[in-house]
Amino acid sequence: VVEKERGGNPLPLLLGVMGDPIIQSKSPAMHMAALEAAGIEGSYVPLHVKEERLQQAVQGIRALGFRGVNVTVPHKVEIIKYLDEIDEGARAIGAVNTILNDGGVLKGYNTDGIGYIRSLKEEAAPDLTGKRVLVLGSGGAARGIVYALLQEAPARVIVANRTAEKARDLAREWSHLGHLQGCGMEEAGNLLPEVDILINTTSVGMYPHPGHMPLDAAGLPSGIVVSDLIYNPLRTELLIQAERKGCTVHNGIGMFVYQGSYAFEYWTGMPAPVEAMRAAVLSSLA
């Protein structure tokens, strides 16, 4: 994968992440650790890209010879129109978080959903087949997760949203992919006794507003898996209360690490040094 100059000199691998704001991103720390652990000479830099400069920034990937770029808020949807090829999953989700520059052809992928599912399976719920899953939220994060989740043959997936219509729209859009249902948050509370896994994809409880709950924990059955995409704080109020109820809890660190590890594998063709990446994220949060 090493780019070569005319004359054959290998160049360091160039990688980065585009967003606005970008300074808070933990991706540079995580991927620099990955490059070092894998013994690859290269750099992964934060790229502050304003919305009105997005098209130019994409052209810059080719012009500057970046091998790969992650895409974060607010560009994941808009960037699609500037890329040459879009992976089927990313197309369905409607968002790209990873770009591979394959000899000047820019290919867009979405590794958020598959990264999340890998983390959930490895850390909390090894088999999702036949499970009843309740997903809170129906924004960009929920779309990635629900899409990846439906590939795992769950018995049913219920998407609940503050704006119930958005959840119902999503359920209609993907009704051909599995047993999917949409509802409002109040109905979600009533459905809790019939659920095996609860996943919060909303930002409720995230820094700088810890202590908030996306739904009333009173009805949480003990023994279910409760998962929160948030990793700052590592233990959200939802996870704290779920743990008190005897649930298995799962936070968003693994999702962040695995979305990055899939991107790393697209760019380098090598297995990602996942534990070095996880350690780098954890120490950058501390």
Which residues form the interface with ligand ATR (CB under 6 A)?
Answer: 137-142, 161-163, 166, 201-204, 214
Q: How far is the CB of 219 from ligand ATR (least distance, A)?
A: 17
283 among annotated binding-site residues:
no
| Whole-number Å distance between alpha carbons of 195 and 57 | 44
- Tell me the closest approach of the beta carbon of residue 274 to ligand ATR, in angstroms: 23
For ligand ATR, give the closer residue by CB, 34 or 117. Answer: 117
Q: Which two tokens stand for residue 134?
A: 């309740």
112: which residues sit within 8 A by CB, 6+ positions away?
Answer: 95, 97, 141, 144, 145, 255, 259
CB of 10 to ligand ATR, least distance (A): 37
162 is in an annotated binding site: yes
Nearer CB in complex with ligand ATR: 138/261? 138
- Give start and end residues of each alpha helix (H) in the chain: 27-38, 54-64, 88-93, 112-123, 140-150, 164-173, 185-191, 237-244, 253-268, 274-285
Closer residue to ligand ATR (CB): 42 or 205: 205
Ramachandran quadrant class, 131 (left: phi over 0; alpha: psi -120 to 50; beta: rest) = beta
Residue whose beta carbon is closest to ligand ATR: 139
Q: Is 26 annotated as a binding residue?
A: yes
The distance of closest approach from Cβ of residue 47 to ligand ATR in the complex, given in angstroms and rounded to an integer, is 19
CA torsion, ordered 21, 26, 30, 35, to nearest 10 deg: 20
* Nearer to ligand ATR among residue 101 and residue 201 (C-beta): 201
Amino acid (1-letter code) at residue 282: L
Residue type, 106: L
Catalytic residues: 76
CA distance 33 to 279: 9
164 appears as a binding residue in the annotation: yes
Annotated binding site for NADP(+): 88, 137-141, 161-166, 229, 252
| Annotated binding-site members | 25-27, 72, 88, 97, 112, 137-141, 161-166, 229, 231, 252, 259
Annotated binding site for shikimate: 25-27, 72, 97, 112, 231, 259
